[in-house]
Amino acid sequence: MLIPCPYCGLRSHEEFTTLGEAGRVRPSGDDLQAFADYVYLRNNVAGRHRELWFHAAGCHAWLTVERDTLTHLIHGAWPVNETPTSEAHTGNEPANEAPAP
């Protein structure tokens, strides 16, 4: 899999580590069950899945990546503090061409 890092271009997923499902929100307050659900439960989607990746051997950016868990096709990657849009960084547009070997 090649991940289109918005900062570094198309890079092998070996350079990244993943933290799984994106969009889990830490609950405020002291509802212990809500907190356990936040830590342990997952939607575990089969299909398009937004997840967190960290470019450990690259720019050290956290990214939100939308990837299909049935096909491994990557639909886009965004810096984690940006809202994913339909205008994704897919690695296909000229600005994201893979660096010369």
Partner 1 sequence: MSRRYSILSLLAGALRGRSYWQPAWRDAAPKAGYDLVIVGGGGHGLATAYYLARVHGMRNIAVVEKGWIGGGNVGRNTTIVRSNYLLPGNAPFYEHSMQLWETLEQELNYNAMVSQRGVLNLFHSDAQRDAAVRRGNAMRLHGIDAELLDTRDVQRLYPSFDFDNARFPIKGGLLQPRGGTVRHDAVAWGYARAASALGVDIIQNCEVTGIRHSDAGVQGLETTRGLIATQRVGLACAGNTSRVATLAGLRLPLESHVLQAFVSEALKPLILGVVTFGAGHFYLSQSDKGGLVFGGDIDGYNSYAQRGNLPTLEDVCEGGMALLPALGRVRLLRSWGGVMDMSMDGSPIIDRTPIDGLYLNAGWCYGGFKATPASGWCFAHLLATGQTHTHAAAYRLDRFSTGHMVDEKGQGPFPNRH
What tokens appear for 14 in the block?
A: 């070996």
Dihedral angle of Cα 90, 60, 41, 34, to the nearest 10 degrees = -120
| Interface with partner 1 (CB under 8 A), residue from 33, 81, 83, 86 | 33
Q: How far apart are CA 77 and CA 84, in angstroms?
A: 8
β pairing state of 9-12 and 17-21: unpaired
Cβ 20 to partner 1, closest distance in Å? 6
Taking CB under 8 A as the binding criterion, the range among 23-31, 34-42, 75-83, 87-95 that sits at the site for partner 1 is 34-42
Identity of the residue, 46 or 100, whose beta carbon is nearer to partner 1 in the bound complex: 46
Verify binding: residue 39, partner 1, rule CB under 8 A.
yes
